[in-house]
Amino acid sequence: MHAVEANFDGLVGPTHNYAGLSYGNVASSKNQQVTSNPKEAALQGLAKMKALHDMGFVQGVLAPQARPDINILKCLGFTGSDARILALAAKTDPVLLASCCSASSMWTANAATVSPSSDTLDGKIHITPANLVNKFHRSIEPETTARTLQAVFNNDQYFQHHPPLPAVDVLGDEGAANHTRLCQNYGDSGMELFVFGHYGLSPEKPAPSRFPARHTYEASSAIARLHGLAAERTLFIQQNPAVIDQGVFHNDVIAVGNRNVLFFHEQAFLEKQNLLNKLNDFFNDQPFYPIEVNSSDISVKDAVNTYLFNSQLLSLANGEMVIVVPEECLHNNTVKQYLSELVSANNPITQVLSFDLKQSMQNGGGPACLRLRVTLTQNELNAVNPHCILNDFLYSTLTGWVNKHYRDQLTIQDLSDPSLLHETQLALDELTQILQLGSIYPFQRH
Ligand SMILES: N=C(N)NCCC[C@H](NC(=O)CCC(=O)O)C(=O)O
């Protein structure tokens, strides 16, 4: 069956800020307290979506979450009017307040794990929202994520939605940031590659010592079971704990796969040879391009700073691929040189496309973090909420919406401003009408 890969990018929310909430994510820690520009952030994301749409790719949009999350603050014992809750939280625990205000749902690679219908036992697309339990500010995303995904992929005939895994460390799940699918053509049965950071139930096994491993083997194997994946087309591979300790908090910061290409740093995986042997067996006599980057060519540090591997590999109609990188890659001479060699070497990647995503990058989110990949047949694509698929009209509506509602600067101190809450709710209420999502936000539901 013919299928295409659609990319669903997260629209950056109006509270985009730099609170330094993600220990182990170098950019997040480094830019703590920097003044953000939510308007620019959202427009940068939309510019990437529009450019990829213009190139003929199917581009979807996922709505941001409602922040500040007043409901969570109420659960944590703050009472009174919304303004009082914000003021009390700011005074009592500013980090807690910032956690309830993060626009982190923009990184939709962490929204869910998605298995295409050609991989699953019942022939449906299976979707499991990630519990994101390792970081408090992200652990409050899954409920609305689930509702959003149900509103976008709203058809029982084609889409099977699972609830997030239980919110415990042993089942820490960061979604598609640690999941890659390799295949010859998108519609084929693929090899699903789950990359986990450590074993939740076996603390004696290898694990990072400095920064947390967010994602467990137990979570990956549960998702594979839930999605009905065939054992012979599923691989569980451990991330190299040494790179987690250097700031590679998700596998998509050090490896990316698309169809028959796996682009990765030599230090990405704990048992690299085992992985390559299994992939060679899977591809058998069909072409497979493992593109391995040595530390002597690009250090892990340069990979983390430029986000070279947090790129999107997109297949063009002629079978060639374009690599979508953040502009930071072209500001580093070694990485820039590497990219020019990559596109002239013997592999399907023939073009480099770069985007200015600085606002997201400063929080550790590059092109690949901003998108959730969903492989769809034509019938499945027809069943997706059409108002969430980008076209020229939706792009101009959304840029107009951002320009109307978003601030162009935001500090941590601004997070307790009751007008910010009001502005955000007004904007998101309008957005649910633009994208025809129904009442997905808690503030719309009571
Ligand atoms: N690699 C992928 N797929 N996603 C990137 C997620 C970045 C996100 N940053 C943050 O949540 C920073 C928020 C702050 O510090 O204000 C995170 O660490 O979870």
Q: What is the ipTM of this complex?
A: 0.99
Give me the catalytic one of 100, 183, 329, 369: 369
Q: Can you tell me the distance from the alpha carbon of 61 to that of 411, in angstroms, rounded to the nearest whole number?
A: 26
* Amino acid making up residue 110: N
252 is in an annotated binding site: yes
C-beta of 18 in contact with ligand 1 (< 6 A)? yes
In the chain, % helix, strand, coil (3-state, to 5) comes to 40, 20, 40
Please choose from 178, 311, 369 the residue to mutate so as to test ligand 1's pocket, defined by most ligand atoms within 8 A of CB.
Answer: 369
Domain spans of the chain, in order of start = 3-67+102-444
Provide the pLDDT confidence category of residue 122 given band limits of 50, 70 and 90: very high
Bond before 386 cis per omega within 30 degrees: no
Q: Is 107 touching ligand 1 by the criterion CB < 6 Å?
A: yes
Counting atoms of ligand 1 from 1, which one is nearest the CA of 31? Answer: 15
Mean pLDDT within 240-247 = 98
The pTM for the full model equals: 0.98
Tokens of 74: 């109420």
Q: What angle do CA 230, 231, 232 make, to 5 degrees?
A: 90
Identify the band that residue 286 occupies on the pLDDT scale cut at 50, 70 and 90. very high
Could you tell me if the CB of 364 is within 6 A of ligand 1? Answer: yes
- The mean predicted confidence, pLDDT, of the chain is 98
pLDDT given for residue 217 in this prediction: 98
Average pLDDT over residues 90-118: 98
pLDDT reading at 446 higher than 80: no
In terms of DSSP bridges, do strands 125-129 and 159-161 run parallel, antiparallel, or are they unpaired? parallel
In this structure, what token pair is assigned to residue 294? 């040595």
Distances (CA, A) of 270 to 169, 195, 241, 350: 21, 10, 7, 29
Is-catalytic flag, 250? yes
Question: What letter does residue 35 receive in the DSSP assignment?
Answer: P
* Predicted local confidence at residue 139, as pLDDT: 98
* Identity of the amino acid at 194: F
Catalytic residue among 5, 40, 174, 380: 174
Please give the angle made by the CA atoms of 357, 263 and 265, to the nearest 5 degrees.
90
Does residue 250 have its Cβ closer than 6 Å to ligand 1?
yes
φ, ψ (nearest 5 deg) of residue 66: -85, 115
At 196, which amino acid appears? F
- Per-residue pLDDT tens over the stretch 6-37: 999 999 999 999 999 999 999 999 999 999 99
Q: Work out whether strand 125-129 and strand 112-115 pair parallel, antiparallel, or are unpaired.
A: antiparallel
Q: Within 10 Å of residue 405's Cβ, how many Cβ atoms?
A: 18
The reply, when asked if residue 24 is annotated as ligand binding, is yes
Is 369 designated active site? yes
Q: How far apart are CA 216 and CA 231, in angstroms?
A: 18
Q: 237, exposed or middle or buried, with CB in 10 Å at 0-12, 13-18, 19+? A: buried
Cβ atoms of residues 148 and 62 within 8 Å? yes
Whether the Cβ atoms of residue 370 and residue 27 lie closer than 8 Å to each other:
no
Residues 415-436, mean pLDDT to the nearest whole number = 98
Give the pLDDT band (50/70/90) at residue 329.
very high
Query: Residue 3 in contact with residue 186, Cβ under 8 Å?
Result: yes
pLDDT at 212 over 80: yes
Query: Is the C-beta atom of 138 inside 6 A of ligand 1?
Result: yes
**What mean pLDDT comes out for the span 280-288?**
97
- The predicted model gives 174-191 an average pLDDT of 98
Any ligand 1 atom below 6 A from CB of 366 = no
Quickly name the fold that domain 3-67+102-444 has: L-arginine/glycine Amidinotransferase; Chain A (3.75.10)
Residue 240 — pLDDT band, cuts 50, 70, 90?
Answer: very high
Mean pLDDT of 285-299: 98
> pLDDT (tens digit, 9 = 90+) per residue, 40-55?
999 999 999 999 999 9
Q: Could you tell me where the DSSP H helices lie in 22-102?
A: 26-30, 38-54, 70-75, 82-92, 94-99
Residues 251-279, mean pLDDT to the nearest whole number = 98
Separation of 158 CA from ligand 1 center, angstroms?
A: 31
Compute, in degrees rounded to 10, the torsion defined by CA atoms 370, 371, 372, 377: 170
Residue 110 Cβ inside 6 Å of ligand 1? The answer reads yes
Confidence of residue 403 (pLDDT cuts 50, 70, 90): very high
Measured in angstroms, how far is the CA atom of residue 25 from the centroid of ligand 1?
Answer: 7
Closest protein CA for atom 18 of ligand 1: 22
pLDDT, mean of residues 165-190: 98
- Is 77 annotated in a binding site? The answer is no
| Cα 119–chain centre separation | 21
Cβ neighbours for 113, distance < 8 A, ≥ 6 positions apart: 127, 128, 130, 173, 175, 176, 179, 223, 227
Assign 279 a pLDDT band (cuts: 50, 70, 90). Answer: very high
